[in-house]
Structure 1
Amino acid sequence: MKGVICRPLPALYTVYVLRSSVRKSSLYIGSTPNPRRRLKQHNGDTKGGAMRTSRHSLRPWEMVALVSGFPSMIAALKFEWALTNPHLSLHIPKESRLTVAKSPGKARRGRKRRRPRRPPHSLLSVVSNLHLLTGVPSFARWPLDLHFFAREVYAAWEKWVAKSKSKARSTKSKSKPSISRSRSRSRSPKPAPPCRAGMRIWTDFAEDAEPDEPTGVHALPIDYKPMKDYLQKARDVVGFEREGACVHCGEELESGRGLHAMCPLDGCTAMGHLDCWSRHGLAGDDEGHMLPDLLHGPAAPAGAAANISPGLGVA
């Protein structure tokens, strides 16, 4: 189709939380496709950075938490703005808002401020709003991963989620389980309490690593390597025109014609029409969603649904 620009999903785009290693109460929120490079910029090792992190008295900065899985730069920027301005963001319903704006007050030279002043960030406010934003309708069905690189920040997250879970039980609300993982089996922490369906939580603490082992943002892949096996199995099938019949409706798939998707589960090469996958993933959904967030083939064992983090391979 003429005029349509195809933009691939970025290998990595993140929203991160910085903390001053000198003054722990100083926090900064930003977004980047390359956390390692961005951290160097904030610490003055390379050109760039931000005005708010340029004070030498607050350096070095460390990345203590990070959200990944955004489908585009614009998506990450929307989340970043909402996390930075939770008192103003329209993504947060008014009745659910945790951070309240301060009165505008007076600006310099006697001019009145039209926009309410942003309350200062604290560890509690950032963690609580992270929990809130990953569950609001605007972001709840995005394939987001949450990473923690500081043990006390992860502990604050666990404490807040446990508190929210207790509050939800008291109001008889239903909560879907989350998927909690650690980057290394030898360094697995206690799993995080349920938060929202499909969101994976990773922890990687420097004090638990070997002396020469990269940790935190230095261990994050910033290329398409995590998707390599998934893309390879799709290419093996499509390249030799072995699509076969749609796994859902049984109709033969014409190679090179139409939108066909492959099961995201490891080792499964089941393919089908994109709309068939959608109907299958939304079976039983009564909330009017257009796209599923968890998928598996019809023959997959119970509980084997996969988060569509890498996206369905479309041929």
Structure 2
Amino acid sequence: MEARPIPAFYCCYLLRSTAYPSSIYVGSTPNPVRRLGQHNGHSKGGAVRTSRKTLRPWEMTCVVTGFPSKIAALQFEWAWHNPHITRRIPNEQRITKPVLKTRKSRKTGRTREGLVRPRMSLTDKINNLHLLLRVPSFSRWPLQVRFFCVDAYQAWRLWNERVNGSIRGGINISLDLKQLKAVDNDGEFDMSTRAKGKRKREALGKGGIEGLDVGYSELKGHVQKGVLFLAKDEALECAVCAKDLGSKTAMTLLCPQEDCRTASHMSCLAAKFIEDEGAGAAVTPISGRCPGCREELQWIDLIKELSLRVRGAREVARMMKKLRVPVTKNAAASHHEAPTAVQEDATNPNKDLDYMRAPDDSDDSLPEDWHCQDDNDDDMMSVMSGHSAQSDGIEAASSPKRFPSPPKLPAVIEDSDWDDAELLD
């Protein structure tokens, strides 16, 4: 089985029916916007419990993020959905008790007693969420909670004031309201791929579920620094034990600060963080200060970058490469009138990546009407690739070929959303 890096994003969410607010639903997903559209019937998928048209539309009241793996998110989801029987909650701390109910068999007519799940309100779910963040099984996980509804956030604050047990300080609880104007979700599916991508980028960081970053963009600078730093032919020592790091490609943690050159063995840095924290019985640290620059570092950020660098070859290559796309005749004419080409000089932040190009990708062999394309715009990549293929055919038929043909890149189709995880609902 192929080892995968830590997912860029995975969350547990709490839905509420806007038509019948007493109807709620707990689930997990790597893409909240897409998943909410499935629950509301905008695309295929969703769950049977949310498929009734009388309950739609559903709204996402809050999400719990920061899970170190997909399995961890599913474990938390099950405990949140079954707080009356989960072993994660001690019996003496349990808020929701199982209900003993007598049932009669239609075939035999016999009656028997059994435990059933009690009916829970939104407040009950939030109270149990507060409890799960305090129990030993989840208290040291790097979790964050975002609320998208004011009443749900107020219910959280009221319960937080009532209970005696406090939540660990590193767990961030926030009210993340949408800052953009309301957009008709039905109209989104009539938009072009390019328009969808542009709107997603504009919504990032501006509140609501549309503002959540579900990709690896936050790790891009850290990963690029790690690849370039470890590619240098020089001996490196662990900043904790002062021994040689050995193989640079595995189990080496790097400080994400741009000017810091600190590198450490994973086991050495983990032991130091736990020692500094004073949590002797802990297995995994939460955070600590860099031995070099003394900046506060989150352990999950270091591990996520390591797993992406070691296991995510495709994602790393996508972050590191420079894509060049041939422009059309009209664009080339305007390009010669008003040059906007990126110069490969000291002002170009990507000049250090030249050593990763293929030998036939040098600037001298490229025609003048080529320009650099930003790798972050996946939707633009697909649009320009198809357009360039059509324009090449037109030029070949109408005029002689003046420039060498660019090398054809193999088409790669990936599903970074992990649709198989959605079948577990």
Q: TM-score, normalised by structure 2?
A: 0.61
Query: 1:18 is matched with which residue?
Result: 15
Q: Which moved more, 1:230-239 or 1:105-114?
A: 105-114
Q: Which moved more, 1:116-125 or 1:212-221?
A: 212-221
Query: 1:222 is matched with which residue?
Result: 214
**For 1:98 and 1:111, how far apart are their aligned partners in 2?**
32
Query: 2:34 is matched with which residue?
Result: 37
Query: 1:253 is matched with which residue?
Result: 245
Query: 2:152 is matched with which residue?
Result: 153
Aligned-pair distance for 1:138? 1.3
SS of the residue 1:105 aligns to: strand
Count of aligned pairs between the two proteins: 282
**For 1:115 and 1:263, how far apart are their aligned partners in 2?**
54
Question: Which letter maps to 1:256?
Answer: K
The structure that is helix-richer by fraction is 2
**For 1:149 and 1:290, how far apart are their aligned partners in 2?**
33
Q: TM-score, normalised by structure 1?
A: 0.80
**Deviations, residues 170-193 of structure 1 (Å, cap 9, x unaligned):** xxxxx5xxxxxxxxxxxxxxxxxx
Aligned-pair distance for 1:112? 5.2
Pair 211,23 (structure 1): closer, same or farther in 2 beyond 3 Å: closer
Please tell me whether the aligned partners of residues 102 and 116 of structure 1 are also in contact (alpha carbons under 8 angstroms): yes
Query: 1:100 is matched with which residue?
Result: 97
**For 2:82 and 2:212, how far apart are their aligned partners in 1?**
27
Question: Which letter maps to 1:279?
Answer: A
Matched, 1:196 2:134: no
Matched, 1:72 2:64: no
Question: Which letter maps to 2:262?
Answer: A
Aligned-pair distance for 1:233? 2.1
Please tell me whether the aligned partners of residues 263 and 295 of structure 1 are also in contact (alpha carbons under 8 angstroms): no
Q: Which moved more, 1:80-89 or 1:16-25?
A: 16-25
**For 2:5 and 2:39, how far apart are their aligned partners in 1?**
28
Please tell me whether the aligned partners of residues 260 and 292 of structure 2 are also in contact (alpha carbons under 8 angstroms): no
Matched, 1:280 2:268: no
Please tell me whether the aligned partners of residues 16 and 67 of structure 1 are also in contact (alpha carbons under 8 angstroms): yes
**Deviations, residues 37-71 of structure 1 (Å, cap 9, x unaligned):** 11111111111111211111111001111111222
Question: Which letter maps to 2:171?
Answer: M
Q: Which moved more, 1:249-258 or 1:69-78?
A: 249-258
**For 2:20 and 2:279, how far apart are their aligned partners in 1?**
48
Question: Which letter maps to 2:222?
Answer: Y
Please tell me whether the aligned partners of residues 144 and 309 of structure 1 are also in contact (alpha carbons under 8 angstroms): no
SS of the residue 1:106 aligns to: strand
Please tell me whether the aligned partners of residues 230 and 249 of structure 2 are also in contact (alpha carbons under 8 angstroms): no
CA RMSD, Structure 1 to Structure 2 (Å): 2.5
**For 2:101 and 2:289, how far apart are their aligned partners in 1?**
50
**For 1:111 and 1:44, how far apart are their aligned partners in 2?**
41
**For 1:133 and 1:262, how far apart are their aligned partners in 2?**
32
Aligned-pair distance for 1:247? 1.2
Please tell me whether the aligned partners of residues 264 and 308 of structure 1 are also in contact (alpha carbons under 8 angstroms): no
SS of the residue 1:103 aligns to: strand
Matched, 1:51 2:42: no
Aligned-pair distance for 1:86? 0.1
Aligned-pair distance for 1:299? 4.3
Matched, 1:60 2:57: yes
SS of the residue 2:25 aligns to: strand
Aligned-pair distance for 1:21? 1.0
Pair 56,127 (structure 1): closer, same or farther in 2 beyond 3 Å: same
Give 1:310's match in structure 2, choosing from 282, 298, 301. 301
**For 1:86 and 1:236, how far apart are their aligned partners in 2?**
47
Give 2:291's match in structure 1, choosing from 288, 291, 298. 298
Please tell me whether the aligned partners of residues 14 and 67 of structure 1 are also in contact (alpha carbons under 8 angstroms): yes
Q: Which moved more, 1:127-136 or 1:197-206?
A: 197-206
SS of the residue 2:72 aligns to: helix
Query: 1:205 is matched with which residue?
Result: 177
Please tell me whether the aligned partners of residues 264 and 295 of structure 1 are also in contact (alpha carbons under 8 angstroms): no
Please tell me whether the aligned partners of residues 103 and 113 of structure 2 are also in contact (alpha carbons under 8 angstroms): no
Pair 114,42 (structure 1): closer, same or farther in 2 beyond 3 Å: farther
Question: Which letter maps to 1:154?
Answer: Y
**Deviations, residues 268-301 of structure 1 (Å, cap 9, x unaligned):** 4421111111110110535511111112213455
Pair 6,115 (structure 1): closer, same or farther in 2 beyond 3 Å: farther
Q: Residues 95-174 of structure 1: matches in 2 within 5 Å?
A: 95-106=92-103, 109=106, 110=109, 115-164=114-163, 167-168=164-165
Please tell me whether the aligned partners of residues 133 and 139 of structure 2 are also in contact (alpha carbons under 8 angstroms): yes
Query: 2:327 is matched with which residue?
Result: none
**Deviations, residues 222-269 of structure 1 (Å, cap 9, x unaligned):** 221122222222222112256732111222323536521123567544
Please tell me whether the aligned partners of residues 247 and 297 of structure 1 are also in contact (alpha carbons under 8 angstroms): no
Give 1:84's match in structure 2, choosing from 81, 86, 94. 81
Please tell me whether the aligned partners of residues 20 and 27 of structure 1 are also in contact (alpha carbons under 8 angstroms): yes
- Look at both structures and tell me which one has the larger radius of gyration over its CA atoms: 2
